Amino acid sequence: MNYKYEIAKKINKITNVDTENITDYVEVPPNPEMGDFAFPCFKLAKDLKKAPPVIANEIKDKIVLDDIISKVEVVGGYINFFINKKSFVKSVLDEALGKGEEYGKSDLGKGKTIVIDYSSPNIAKPFHIGHLRTTVIGGSLYKIYKYLGYNVVGINHLGDWGMGVSKTIAGYEMWKNEYSFDENPINSILAIYVRFNKLEKEDSTIIEKARNVLIRLEKGEEEATRIWKWIIDISLENYKKVYDLLGSEFDSYNGEAFYNDKMDRVIKELEEKELLKDSEGAKVVEMPDNMPPCIIITSAGTTIYATRDLAALLYRIDNYNFSKALYVVGSEQALHFKQVFKTLELMGYEKYAKVCEHIPFGLILDENGEKIGSRKGGQLLTLEEILNESIEKSLEIIEEKNPTLENKEEVAKMVGVGAIIFNDLSNNRIKDEIFNWKELLNFNGETGPYLQYTYVRTRSILRNSNEVLENIDYDMLLDSEAIEVIRKLSEYPDIIKNAANKNEPSLISRHLIDLAQCFSRFYNEHHIMCDNIETKKARIALTKAVGDTIKSGLGLLGIKTPERM
| Active site (catalytic) residues | 125, 128, 131
Q: Where are the alpha helices (DSSP H) in 16-131?
A: 19-25, 45-48, 52-62, 85-99
Assess contact for 562 and 458: CB atoms under 8 A.
no
Assess contact for 259 and 308: CB atoms under 8 A.
yes
CB-count burial class (<10 Å; 0-12, 13-18, 19+) for 49 = exposed
Assess contact for 291 and 338: CB atoms under 8 A.
yes
Listed residue (187, 277, 274) closest to 238, CA to CA = 187
Backbone angles phi, psi at 163, to 5 degrees: -70, -30
Order across the sheet with 356-359: list the strands: 151-155, 113-117, 324-328, 356-359
* d(C-alpha 139, C-alpha 22), whole Å: 33
Q: How many CA atoms lie within 13 A of 118 on its CB side?
A: 31
Q: How far is CA 514 from CA 102, 439, 525, in A?
A: 20, 18, 17
Assess contact for 94 and 538: CB atoms under 8 A.
no
Q: Quote the crossing angle between the two packed helices 132-147 and 222-246, to the nearest 10°.
A: 70
Going by their DSSP bridges, the two strands 356-359 and 276-279 should be labelled as unpaired
Which residues are 326's β-sheet partners?
116, 357
Assess contact for 128 and 153: CB atoms under 8 A.
no
